[in-house]
Amino acid sequence: MISTTLKRAKTATFNFMKTAVILLVLLAAMLLSSQSALSAENTNSKIADLSTLTWKPLEGIPEGAEVAVLNGNPATGASEVAIRLPAGYLFPHHSHTSSEVLFWSEGEFTYIADDGSKQTLKPDSYLNLPSGTKHSVVCGEQPCLVYARYDKPFDLLLSPPPKNNQ
């Protein structure tokens, strides 16, 4: 009976130790992989000085709007860009396949929704527009600068302006 109890205790201790070793190995693997992910994230860090960016005309709309890529590749995937608009510029009514996040940092502007309703917004305004949201903007008396983030390749789907201009 003592022999059987000792065998069971040995087996239980062995199983416990085996489980503990497996858990330690898994924990170590998780820590190493998270450290690798953090290292990879740090190597992809970006710092941009707007005065040194390469600005290009935004194709397919009236002359004046310029864009500079901050991060990603707008042609193939998610991207972040800076957009400059001259004072008084009307950015035509449009939508995107991607959702669009905007942070307006310079210049007052008017946001025009698809129903024609208008909202005047000041610098430091944030907009989060779902995919397919038709809208246009008019830059005020000062030039405008906006940060934009797209979660899919960039497209600009022009549409007729709203019929109801409130």
Distance between CA atoms of residues 157 and 124, nearest Å = 26
Query: For the whole model, what pTM was predicted?
Result: 0.72
Strand partners, 95: 157
pLDDT confidence band for 45 (50 / 70 / 90): confident
Lowest mean pLDDT among 51-55, 79-83, 127-131: 51-55
Express as a percent the part of the chain with pLDDT over 70: 73
Q: Which residues contact 12 (CB under 8 A, 6 or more apart)?
A: none
For residue 41, pLDDT over 70 is answered with no
Sign of CA dihedral 147, 152, 156, 158: negative
